[in-house]
Amino acid sequence: MLNQIFAIATKELKVLLHDRGALIALFGLPIAFILVMTVALEGAFGSGSENQPIEMLVSNQDRGVLAGRVIEDLRGVDGLNLIETIDGLPLTADRIDDLITARQYMLGLDFPADFSDRVLSADEVTDEKPVIRFIVDPTANTQILSPARGMVEGFVERVTSYAWMEEQTRAGFEDIASHVPAGQQVFVEQIAEEFTTGQENAVVSTGVDYQVVTPKQYKIEVYPTSVEQNVPAYTIYGVFFIMQTIATSIFEEKNSGAFRRLKSAPLSRAAYLFGKGFSYYAVNLVQIVLMFTVGVVVFHLNMGNSPLALVVISLITSFAATGMGMMLSCLVKSLEQAHSLGTMLGVVLSVVGGMMVPAYVMPDFMQKLALFTPHAWSLSAYHDVIVRGLGLMDILPSLGILVLFALGFWSLAIWRFRFE
């Protein structure tokens, strides 16, 4: 019996070792997933550290000195990289808006011109609070904003509270000095100096108002939640996974002998592929509608201000996904390869393209690598409409690149396809 067990086990191992598709699925996919996810998530766990500081644009329009003191303290923080000038010019709030809108940065900090004046003149009855604005790309989550905001608020409270107490203390002693004989005024000033020096470590609330805003170019009425970011991402992930189904279906037709009959018919390769692809194209569109419906009904997803733009994105994304499926079917050599490579590409491209991990927490080289995936451009277009509040004309560059991906996939599929 042991010999029989050994013989069967040996036979199965030989079969498995000759099945490249199965070996890729068993070993290649987990290894690829570990490598890609580990590298991609490096920024999610290391953001705000000395090795991976948070980049923050800073605009200091303050006429006084308090904003400058806060910025000077923030420069010494290891997990924060302040960017105060671009091309040798000091940043302004409008320039920060432009840089964030251009996707070059995610976060900015703006000190208004009257910041010091409002801090030093603040009292319990005034409504004019000193204001600091965090200008944030709406796709950024709390992993970026929270650490930076915590650092800024801590230094602001320390600097402003001491400055306010010093100002109030000096004003009080000056009032006292004005009512004492001239010979005692020097004594009062000495007491005031010692008293204010002893208050350096005291912290009181000066009522600074911290506002989180988006660039003015974005038309956002409600600040987005994770729903607006995640529903489009996982919709794209599901749409592009159809390439495995397409490749498998074509190989099953090959194995069934259907291609021999099709070869004798007056049927072109393009006609077959487009006819085959149209059915999956329709399936993809239904899938998109269902997933967004779930987002709206269950999670109250905000769909943005341009329904037409969402329709166009969905049509082009589906076209690119079916084209990738057709291309895959023409490149693999067996049904097993279609299964394994379809799964691997579906997962890896989704990770690299930002479906599972936001691109801004990835290392720089992976952010650049994402631009070579259709997933990233589709997600960017969806986010522009849903999260950033833009319209169809604003997303034309992303749509153009997505169309080029789709045409490239379909062209390669038609060129490589054979009825054999």
Boundary-marking domain end, from 178, 213, 248 = 213
CA torsion sign, 91 to 96 to 97 to 102? positive
Boundary-marking domain end, from 173, 189, 213 = 213
Whether 18 maps to a domain, the answer reads no
Q: What is the mean pLDDT of the chain?
A: 77
CATH code of the domain containing 111: 3.40.1710
DSSP element (H, E) containing 209: strand 209-213
| Judgement on whether residues 178 and 81 belong to the same structural domain of the protein | yes
Whether 19 maps to a domain, the answer reads no
Token digits of residue 231 = 């529903």
pLDDT tens string 291-310:
899 889 888 888 888 899 99
State which amino acid sits at residue 134: F
DSSP state of 208: P
Q: How far apart are CA 122 and CA 204, in angstroms?
A: 12
| Judgement on whether residues 182 and 320 belong to the same structural domain of the protein | no
Boundary-marking domain end, from 213, 235, 270 = 213
pLDDT given at position 40: 55
| Judgement on whether residues 202 and 227 belong to the same structural domain of the protein | no
Range scoring the smallest mean pLDDT among 15-24, 57-66, 321-330, 411-420: 15-24
| Judgement on whether residues 259 and 313 belong to the same structural domain of the protein | yes
| Judgement on whether residues 200 and 60 belong to the same structural domain of the protein | yes
| Judgement on whether residues 203 and 231 belong to the same structural domain of the protein | no
| Judgement on whether residues 238 and 285 belong to the same structural domain of the protein | yes
| Judgement on whether residues 341 and 240 belong to the same structural domain of the protein | yes
Which is higher by pLDDT, 58 or 259? Answer: 58
| Judgement on whether residues 256 and 232 belong to the same structural domain of the protein | yes
| Judgement on whether residues 185 and 258 belong to the same structural domain of the protein | no
Whether 23 maps to a domain, the answer reads no
pLDDT given at position 300: 86
Whether residue 116 has pLDDT greater than 80: yes
| Judgement on whether residues 270 and 410 belong to the same structural domain of the protein | yes
| Judgement on whether residues 388 and 299 belong to the same structural domain of the protein | yes
Whether 319 maps to a domain, the answer reads yes
Whether residue 63 has pLDDT greater than 80: yes
Provide the domain count of the chain: 2
CB atoms within 10 A of CB 346: 23
Q: How far apart are CA 98 and CA 223, in angstroms?
A: 19
Closest CA to 56 of 133, 130, 139: 133
pLDDT tens string 321-350:
999 988 888 887 777 777 777 878 888 888
Whether 271 maps to a domain, the answer reads yes
Q: Are 356 and 278 in contact (CB under 8 A)?
A: no
Whether 17 maps to a domain, the answer reads no
State which amino acid sits at residue 174: E
Whether 397 maps to a domain, the answer reads yes
Token digits of residue 404 = 């080029």
Domain that holds residue 126: 50-213
Whether 121 maps to a domain, the answer reads yes
Q: Are 398 and 384 in contact (CB under 8 A)?
A: yes
What is the DSSP track for 63-98? SSSHHHHHHHHHHT-TTEEEE-EETTEE--HHHHHH
Q: Are 222 and 144 in contact (CB under 8 A)?
A: no
